[in-house]
Chains A and B, each alone.
Chain A
Amino acid sequence: MSTRLLDREFEYVAPNSLADALDLLSAYEGGVKVMAGGTDLLVKLKTGADIPFSILLDTKDITELSFISKCEEGIEIGALTKLCNIDRNTMLSDYHALVEAIPLMASPAVRNMGTIGGNIVNASPAADTACPLMVYDAVLRLSSASGDREVPISKFFTGVSKTVIKDDEMLVSIVLPRVKPDSGSCFIKKTRVKPDISKISVTAYIERDGSAVKACRIAMGAVAPTPIELLGVGDKAFDRVATKELFLELAELAASIIKPIDDIRSTAEYRREISKVLVAQALETAWQRAGGTL
């Protein structure tokens, strides 16, 4: 299999509105594959992934899904927004972990092509925008020709490359709830070389009440079949005074409950050991960004 060619035959459509795209998806249920930036999909197709489809639906002309705007709940990001337009947008600058994750992804060229929606729907265990979106309790807006629905990102992923999205649905946008006062977040990832997929990533989010932790959430990438929020770990910090020891305690707990595996990028042992350090670091930084001192 050579990556010089795309050794697949298919028909090509490029509708210029969401409504037209959804009509096509419902008319040919199952046979259509959506392409956004193509930086995951075309790599998979070139390297021989078994993705059944006969029509490729290119979203390049659906400009209405490329936007970042204020909404009732907070900020809404269109699914087709390019990665490169997210970290520079001042409306998003208080979503520290999200803004921090983007420049660590891939390379500038890939970020000029790839979209945030593609990163989410591709559903890699290592999808770098997923964990930041989880700690913010982001909601995904999905649409099909027969209606719209909202799914919290914590309920979206079901397995490696698997999500609850149906064949006739598209991800339309991501809704980020308003940033709470005295809150902070942090994203850290470890890779082999810089522009690499994560061996492991950690996202921490803290809300502060004076010197105590009011809310705390931790999510991790590449330690399970999907990006995951470590439910119950952050809760242990509730109402406790923030200290380095507290954060180390949470990190030990996180390391003890994740179930990482050995794969091409890293080993289970490394992932478990390094998570003890990274979780504590991410919590400390999130705490400081929330205005706290240690």
Chain B
Amino acid sequence: MMKLHNITLTVNGRRYDLAVEPNELLLNVIRDRLHLTGTKYGCGIAECGACSIIANGKLMLACMILAVTASGWDITTSEGLAKDGNLNPVQQAFIDKGAIQCGFCTPGMVVAGTTLLMENNSPTEDEIREYMRGNYCRCTGYTSIVEAIESAAIHMNETK
């Protein structure tokens, strides 16, 4: 048995105090212990983006982070994007543009789309494709996803 480490995570605004083993991955803690299953296990090796989270304001991959490393971090998962029951503009645009088929990639996509628009409020199509290159989708062919992010950007700029 490895030594347990006490960690504190703030996830979607809620504070969690946990004891974790050094080899526990943040992804598994989020899914299995916090029961936030929006963050998906896809490849497990930082290639597919299904486990995308926002950590201290930055896009990161929960499958490639130890839970102990994340102690003290402020994390947002796909479940934390909506505020007061209202979907964020990226989530809403994914629905409006039909940018979802099986839905497995969608939580990671909306998380990455959200950090993209945090960093660049009017990205070009090329910039969107470039930024989203670490998020794989087996269904949509990406066009509708790019359109959804473009339309979310327009919506956000109109309502600012």
A-B contact count (CB 8 A): 91
- Contact pick for B52, options A46, A58, A60, A109, CB 8 Å: A109
Q: Does B59 make an interface contact (CB < 8 A)? A: yes
Q: Is the CB of A4 within 8 A of B69?
A: no
- Report how far A27 CA is from B86 CA in the complex, Å: 54
**A interface footprint on B37-66 (CB within 8 Å = 1, 0 otherwise):** 000010111110100100000111101111
How far does the Cβ of A24 sit from chain B's closest Cβ, in whole Å?
A: 15
Which residues of chain A are within 8 angstroms of B5 by Cβ–Cβ distance?
Answer: 12
Stretch at the interface among A36-44, A72-80, A227-235, A252-260: A36-44
Q: Does B117 make an interface contact (CB < 8 A)? A: no
Which residues of chain A are within 8 angstroms of B2 by Cβ–Cβ distance?
Answer: 9-11
Q: Is the CB of B65 within 8 A of A107?
A: no
Q: Does B103 make an interface contact (CB < 8 A)? A: no
| Known A5-B28, A11-B2: A113·B61 in contact at CB below 8 Å | yes
Q: Does B11 make an interface contact (CB < 8 A)? A: no
Q: Does A192 make an interface contact (CB < 8 A)? A: no
Interface size class of B (residues with CB under 8 A): 20 to 34
Q: Does A2 make an interface contact (CB < 8 A)? A: yes
How far does the Cβ of A191 sit from chain B's closest Cβ, in whole Å?
A: 11
Q: Is the CB of B22 within 8 A of A12?
A: yes
Q: Does B68 make an interface contact (CB < 8 A)? A: yes
Chain B residue nearest to A10 in the complex (CB): B22
Q: Is the CB of B46 within 8 A of A43?
A: yes
Q: Does B105 make an interface contact (CB < 8 A)? A: no
| Known A4-B28, A9-B2: A43·B22 in contact at CB below 8 Å | no
Chain A residue nearest to B3 in the complex (CB): A11
- Contact pick for B46, options A5, A7, A9, A110, CB 8 Å: A110
Q: Is the CB of A38 within 8 A of B65?
A: yes
Chain A residue nearest to B57 in the complex (CB): A112
Which residues of chain A are within 8 angstroms of B68 by Cβ–Cβ distance?
Answer: 12, 14, 58
Most chain A beta-carbon contacts within 10 A, residue among B5, B23, B135:
B23
Most chain B beta-carbon contacts within 10 A, residue among A14, A60, A103:
A60
Q: Is the CB of B43 within 8 A of A3?
A: yes
Q: Does B75 make an interface contact (CB < 8 A)? A: no
Chain A residue nearest to B1 in the complex (CB): A9
- Contact pick for A113, options B22, B49, B60, B135, CB 8 Å: B60
Q: Which residues of A contact B (CB under 8 A)?
A: 2-12, 14, 38-39, 42-43, 46-47, 56, 58, 60, 84, 103, 106-110, 112-113, 194-195
